[in-house]
Structure 1
């Protein structure tokens, strides 16, 4: 059962995100679940695996909350690696994503339609709070962090992955140029998402240190070897093209593939890398927790 907890009104950004994911449920996991990820010499099948690996595999009972759980792929990874079932919970504002999560997870997880700024869980009820490629999209980040700390038990783990500044890339540069030209011509925009503090490791530390101990920020690289058409398909899963008419997107795709093809190697593909950032922090004890004012 999916328990609806959505407030009567969402922000304009939240309405955009809910509508997008209702129409394209599973788009985030599809984009990232097969992209090889690396950090500190460690290689994983995807960036999701770095989050799932934090949850111990032994038999101790645990409660794991995935904030902005999407179609449930991260919760499924956690469940698949455990010797004993964990108590799994997922919160998302998109009904479409939660429906997809229920198909993936069956009755093994409690799925709740709600906002991260008002998590519908009791205080100190979770051992792990995880979030993959969503925190940087959320309004009122301070309220989100406060809520995460509230639902975590002392000593519990909060870990999230967000985007970081990408390295120089012809694949990205050619795409962004065409996107800017199209948006200027169409006078089209998309919402500005999130809090800029998440783009800077020092500010991430400052954001978390009043509520968490042992804040660790690690750089993660993701890579794929794709043909130009496959790269374009990957970009189609992002928010940038939302609102651009289908016929304009078709023209952009044709132009993009033509521009990128001469840069490919003999197999018709090229390496396309990107950067993410994983943050892990430990919830402070009540004696040391100092809520920000």
Structure 2
């Protein structure tokens, strides 16, 4: 039986309380690279899977509420779909909204029960950079992929786009230093292209990295409402969270355009690799 780390226990608790938070943050906003636009960052991954000619089985690691699997299930392509997640709250939503043929497993990515070499494409949206033992996660992904199989993952690149990120960090850092309980999320190497190259080149070839922007024009209050459903703001004690809000909203207000919104969004990265 798995022993969960403190980080994993927190993530399980968060996704029980705020199930669907990731799809709420990303599914409704267009995403773009330098060469192409998509309906959302989930569609970036769905498109890659659907454009892989011989793919028959697709695995979504940390599938959450199943939004990416729904995109694939709704396509005209007959695919065997598998989702793995360690949050029962997220899996309950996925089970209620996905077709019965989609296999959902409550497992850690570090030890999946999926047969060796049985998957053609592994996808993951905004999750691998949070995981403990990333080398073991990648070994498991490599194990379940068939020869020549593909890994495609969306991970964090920068938090907010534009000046809003600088404003947020300037206010957040001193409050976090004083009040945020220490908790390690993932491996620092997943934050850079160099780090991903180091991690993947052991077992994968054809590494490809592409910046993806998810532009968003919220009001300061709308941005705050979204930030409340992020891990570090969620973990702040109530008094520290109130201080952050009281300082952040006026600071963000100085960035407003004439319509009251801010030009910002999420900065993420597409990482692709092929099994050697």
* TM-score after normalising by structure 2: 0.92
Contact conserved, 1:59 with 1:84, CA < 8 A, in 2?
Answer: no
Partner residue in 1 for 2:22? 28
Partner residue in 2 for 1:209? 201
In structure 1, list runs of 5 or more residues that go unmatched: 1-6, 285-293
Q: Equivalent of 1:62, from 50, 56, 79?
A: 56
Q: CA deviation at 1:208?
A: 1.5
Q: Is 1:98 the counterpart of 2:91 in the alignment?
A: yes
RMSD over aligned Cα atoms: 2.1
Q: Is 1:188 the counterpart of 2:180 in the alignment?
A: yes
In structure 2, list runs of 5 or more residues that go unmatched: none
2:50 match: secondary structure: coil
Q: CA deviation at 1:166?
A: 5.2
Partner residue in 2 for 1:278? 270
Distance 2:145 2:233 in 1: 36
Contact conserved, 1:164 with 1:275, CA < 8 A, in 2?
Answer: yes
What are the equivalent positions in structure 2 for 1:178-257 lying under 5 Å apart? 178-185=171-178, 187-246=179-238, 248-257=240-249
Contact conserved, 1:73 with 1:104, CA < 8 A, in 2?
Answer: no
User: Higher mean Cα deviation, 38-47 or 162-171?
Assistant: 162-171
Contact conserved, 2:210 with 2:271, CA < 8 A, in 1?
Answer: yes
Distance 1:221 1:59 in 2: 27
Q: Equivalent of 1:112, from 99, 105, 113?
A: 105
Q: CA deviation at 1:26?
A: 0.5
What are the equivalent positions in structure 2 for 1:144-159 lying under 5 Å apart? 144-159=137-152
Q: 1:61 to 1:219 in 2, by over 3 A?
A: closer
Q: CA deviation at 1:38?
A: 1.1
Distance 1:58 1:217 in 2: 18
Distance 2:160 2:213 in 1: 10
2:264 match: secondary structure: strand
Q: 1:263 to 1:128 in 2, by over 3 A?
A: same
Q: CA deviation at 1:281?
A: 1.2
Distance 1:58 1:95 in 2: 30
Distance 2:207 2:65 in 1: 28
User: Higher mean Cα deviation, 239-248 or 106-115?
Assistant: 239-248
